Structure 1
Amino acid sequence: MLTDSGRETHATSSPTRSNRPSKRLGLIAFIATFGGLLFGYDTGVINGALEPLEEDLGLTALTEGFVVSILIFGAAFGALIGGRLSDRYGRRHNILLLSVVFMTGTLGCVLAPTWEVLAAFRFVLGLAVGGASATVPVYLAEMSPAERRGSIVSRNEFMIVSGQFLAFVINAVIFNLWGEHDSVWRYMLLVAVVPAIVLLLGMLRMPESPRWLISQGRHDDALMVLKQVRTPEAAHAEMAEVEALAEEEELTQVGGPIDLSVKWIRRLMLIGIGLGVFQQFTGINSVMYYGTQLLADAGFSSSAAIVANTLNGLVSVLGITIALKVMNKVNRRTMLFVGFALITIFHLLIGLSAVLLPDGPVKAYCILVFVVLFVFSMQGTIGPLAWLMLAEIFPLKIRSFAIGVCIFVLWIANALVALFFPPVVAAIGIAMTFFIFAGLGLLALIFTTQVPETRGRSLEELEDHFREKYS
């Protein structure tokens, strides 16, 4: 690989040639992250659509939780299936397939005559969401040069929360314009067809991952792709590195369940699963999926609740933007501890507001403020940090297997929150529900003491450290 100084020297000597690959890489990232945008929109759009959907299809608290959570269960399996399809047929091929699945699932939901049919197509959408979560970041990472990989890959997380924010805004606009129509929820869901079409048409003109092409023995094709997103000299230099690394991974990627018999690997697996589970048990997606209903229960009118809920989407974008700027300047474990501490405090304040304040505008706005602060704290710390640490803590030998297991468990935890939040709130109320979240937050703080620090160390140094510490 060329050194950073070598890259800078080349860029100075040939700025036109250097800027062209950079623009091409930016276009590739923009198109591919429409998969992340769809991920965010399809998980967020149900938030504002639930009230009219309940009235139109006659949902109960239990069937409501099922309709919301079935997408997340689908995503868990979509992540497993999508990763395998991506390895076998290519990243670009898989993203093209996912765009078709996104469109099929969306149109099926829009035309669903009953909640059972809606749930079936929500599961199909979940397969696409899970597949996108497993494929798009890998595609971006393999297209990016090392010095830009972090910023390019993190664009996908930014597009996910932007998709949720967009869903909240569009829901608010459509509801306030056509809220008197029973089928207004169908218009909200239909909007997702547009980015799916953009993803399909855009990816038709995008190249395949050079890393995947090399793994298939298509070295000339891989070099052609690298020349699109690198200067010619950098493309040839990186080609040799990618070939060597692909050969190394082919020899070492033999990890699987048998490696769990090794104590230090088993310990890391439990830490990774804990990161995923406690990230979801903050209850962040109870707000992302049911925020409008939560605010209506707090005292807002239906139209005011759907507008107020857009604040959750806005602070999600702001929070993750700040997190990406400070993540490499603050120790990971410190950031985790502060995040869980803030979240636990705001959970307690939400619960106390629901218990102690009389019904009325003061109670409604207090709950809104504390919910918004909770969402901001979550997205500014634990939200992106858990995904980053999952990519850092596992050794090369079992990385694909371990991350796949942890993401599967994360999605299942997400689905359980989505499934049980409505009936739990209906049974015990807002206050007790958030007191439960606060209790889980205290357990997360204890768990944080077992999480290793990973900032400022290479992956090889971390592997040696974990083997020595946990053996």
Structure 2
Amino acid sequence: MTNVSTSKKSDSAPAGSKPHNHKRSLRTVTIVSTFGGLLFGYDTGVINGALPYMQDDLGLTPLTEGLVTSSLLFGAAFGAIFGGRLADRRGRRKTIMALAVVFLLGTLACTFAPNTAVMVLGRLVLGLAVGGASVTVPVYLAEMSPRAMRGRMVTQNELMIVTGQLVAFISNAYLGNTFGDTGGIWRWMIVLATIPAIALWIGMSLMPESPRWLASIGSFGETLGVLRRIRSHEDARVEFDEVKALAVDDYKSKMGGWRDLKAPWLRHIFVVGIGLAVIQQITGVNSIMYYGTQILADAGFGREAALTANIANGVISVLATFVGIWLLGRVGRRRMLITGQIGTTSALLLIGIFSLLLPEGMGRGYVILALTVTFLAFQQGAISPVTWLMLSEIFPQKMRGLGMGASVFVLWMVNFLIGFSFPQLLAAFGISNTFFVFVVLGVGAIAFAARYVPETKGRSLEELETYFRNRKPAAR
């Protein structure tokens, strides 16, 4: 930590902007930074509609199809862990700006890929940006937000993720149905992501750094300046004292590396964080988000009809996220998570049963579509927003980037395994048996959430750190 002596100077530091503008500044920070979530969503969702056209142009097999889809997820795993460490060392704002450049480069590589090998490499690069954004943007939002608004602000990133996926589904459907006979239409589906990547870099160049990260390196004058920009004058002073005190304590305890996991309370947080990451993915959500068009086509829709029907999955994801944001202000995180897990597991069980019992055709297609929509209502309305919010909350300041990076690394690795294996499982065992596997995993997820996940609602980040530090090992 450096410049600790600047705290005296910070008491009289001028405000970065007039106090009455702090709400507008906070809204601007939220909108601009969540363009990272929009890119996350678009780049993971666009493959859903682009894949059928790539099969023709690139000659994909079930194996290479899985590689093209999952290479982004593999890259995202490493982007998460390295992005988290980079955000701890270089700051949240600069890291997000660097990720915007990687988003742009990865998108262009995929757009102009001449063969499967280059496409896999381009998707791998794109994954580094997606993984880095999945860690850094929620942490940035959590550290910028007031306690009462943290749930709403952080989950707005989840809203932007599903909005990005919806935009991808709509653009895929339009381009596929209008220009589907044109060679290389999938390239136009992919290249649209360059626009938000450029907007993210420009926007973040104008945004302030996280006040908590500034405090963690001892820049208390800048910390107070940022807080005055995004808080009322009185709230800025109160929060500054709290942030400064904990930053000094963290520095004295010299936390921040893997060796600190020798402390039982930190090991417990890591177990909870990694568990949250795993149970969010083993619902099988991304089998639907990545292969939804193919699932619907196999269920009875044609290729173009499946592209259009898949928009319903994107629409319900956005609407459910709005509901989830509303619920987070009224319902405990833990209860929402468990309810969501029960809902998704039940929907998957019904998908497996009806896929087995109903004859192939449009009737079965509409039943499967209704159940995937129900599944996504529980996933995007409860599980996903709670997961990303809690991961941004539970880790202490000096380990927030490392802890969330490690958890999201695991999340993306599980995602990778599902994305890679799903088309091969589908080809080998059929839709029913494949979804029955996710049902069994879902039961395990419910048990974990009920046993280990704590409640974090209504506590500041500093209060949560104190709670975990003083928590007795036997308590939940």
- Give 1:354 shift: 1.4
AA matched with 1:412: M
8 A contact 1:48–1:292 mirrored in 2: yes
Q: Residues 271 and 238 from structure 1, CA distance in 2 versus in 1: closer, same or farther, beyond 3 angstroms?
A: closer
Counterpart residue number, 1:467: 472
Aligned CA distance change for structure 1 residues 101 and 396 (closer, same or farther; 3 Å): closer
How many Å apart are 1:27 and its aligned residue? 1.4
Structure 2: which amino acid aligns with 1:181?
Answer: T
1:4 is aligned to none
Provide the residue aligned with 1:441 in structure 2. 442
Q: Relative contact order (alpha carbons < 8 A, sep ≥ 6): 1 or 2 greater?
A: 2
Q: How far 1:461 moved relative to its partner? A: 6.8
* Equivalent residues in 2 for 1:374-453, closer than 5 Å: 374-393=375-394, 400-453=401-454
Return closer, same or farther for 1:460/1:374 CA change in 2, 3 Å cut-off.
Answer: same
Code of the aligned partner of 1:300 = F
1:394 touches 1:463 (CA, 8 Å); kept in 2? no
**Deviation at residue 41 of structure 1 after TM alignment:** 0.6
Please report how far the alpha carbon of residue 46 of structure 1 lies from its aligned counterpart in structure 2 after TM superposition: 0.6
Normalising by structure 2, we get a TM-score of: 0.89
CA spacing shift, 1:344–1:142, aligned 2, 3 Å: closer
Q: Provide the TM-score with structure 1 as the length reference.
A: 0.89
Partners of 1:470 and 1:265 lie apart in 2 by: 14
- What displacement does 1:212 show? 3.0
Q: Could you tell me how far 1:441 is from its partner in structure 2? A: 1.6
How many residues end up aligned between the 2 structures?
456
The change in CA–CA distance for 1:219 and 1:65 in structure 2 (over 3 A counts) is same
Q: Which has the larger displacement, 184-193 or 256-265? A: 256-265
Q: CA deviation at 1:32?
A: 1.1
Map of 2:317 onto structure 1 = 316
Structure 1 contact 79–127 (Cα < 8 Å) conserved: yes
Bigger CA drift: 434-443 or 57-66?
434-443
User: Higher mean Cα deviation, 310-319 or 199-208?
Assistant: 199-208
SS in 1 for 2:296: helix
C-alpha deviations, 1:244-302, integer Å up to 9, x for none? 23222222352654455566654553343222212111100011111111111111011
Output aligned runs, 1:67-466, within 5 Å. 67-232=68-233, 234-252=235-253, 254=255, 256-258=257-259, 260=261, 266-393=267-394, 400-455=401-456, 458=459, 459=464, 462-463=467-468, 466=471
Q: Give the equivalent residue in structure 1 for 2:42.
A: 41
Shift of 1:150: 2.9
Contact 1:94 1:135 in 2 (8 A): yes
State whether residues 84 and 404 of structure 2, in contact with CA within 8 Å, keep that contact through their aligned partners in structure 1.
Answer: no
In 2, Cα distance between equivalents of 1:456 and 1:218: 29
Identity in percent? 49
Contact 2:390 2:456 in 1 (8 A): no
Aligned AA (1:408): F
Q: Could you tell me how far apart the structure 2 residues matched to 1:244 and 1:125 are?
A: 39
Which piece of structure 1 moves more, 425-434 or 315-324?
315-324
Task: Report the AA paired with residue 41 of structure 1.
Answer: Y
RMSD after superposition? 2.5
CA–CA separation in structure 2 for the residues paired with 1:195 and 1:460: 35
Structure 1 CA distance, aligned partners of 2:268 and 2:247? 28
Structure 1 residues 393-402 or 305-314, which shifts more? 393-402
Q: Is the CA contact 2:334–2:449 (under 8 Å) kept in the aligned structure 1?
A: yes
The code of the aligned residue for 2:90 comes to Y
Kept in 2: contact 1:393–1:454 (CA 8 A): no
Q: Give the secondary structure class of the aligned counterpart of 2:455.
A: coil
Q: Is the 8 A contact 1:33 1:156 kept in 2?
A: yes
Matched with 1:25 is 26
Answer whether contact 1:271 1:450 (CA < 8 A) is retained. no
Residues 180-204 of structure 1: per-residue CA shift (max 9 Å, x gap): 1120000000100111111122222
Q: What secondary structure, in the 3-state scheme, does the structure 1 residue paired with 2:452 have?
A: coil
Distance 1:252 1:149, change over 3 A: farther
Residue 398 of structure 1 and its aligned partner are, at CA, apart by 5.6
Cα distance change of structure 1 residues 193 and 409 upon mapping to structure 2, 3 Å threshold:
same
How big is the shift at 1:153? 2.2
Q: Is contact 2:148-2:458 (8 Å) kept? A: no
Is contact 1:17-1:231 (8 Å) kept? no
CA distance in 2, matches of 1:261, 1:212: 24
1: distance between equivalents of 2:266 and 2:258?
10
Kept after mapping to 2: 8 A contact 1:393/1:462: no
Moved more, 352-361 or 379-388: 379-388
Partners of 1:139 and 1:223 in 2: CA distance: 16
Q: Which moved more, 1:87-96 or 1:59-68?
A: 87-96
Q: Deviations over 1:190-232 (max 9, x none)?
A: 1001111111222222222333334444444444433332345
Name the structure 1 match of 2:60.
59
- In 2, distance between residues paired with 1:59 and 1:208? 44
Question: Which sits farther off after the overlay, 219-228 or 17-26?
Answer: 219-228
Structure 1 residue 424, shift from structure 2 partner: 0.7
Q: Secondary structure at the match of 1:123?
A: helix
Letter in 1 for 2:255: V
Deviations 1:287-345 (A, max 9, x none): 11111111111110111101111111111111122122223433444333322222222
Residue 12 of structure 1 is matched in structure 2 by none
Check conservation: 1:267, 1:470, Cα contact below 8 A.
no
Gaps of 5+ in 1: 1-15
Moved more, 112-121 or 440-449: 440-449
Gaps of 5+ in 2: 1-16
In the alignment, residue 407 of structure 2 is paired with which amino acid? C
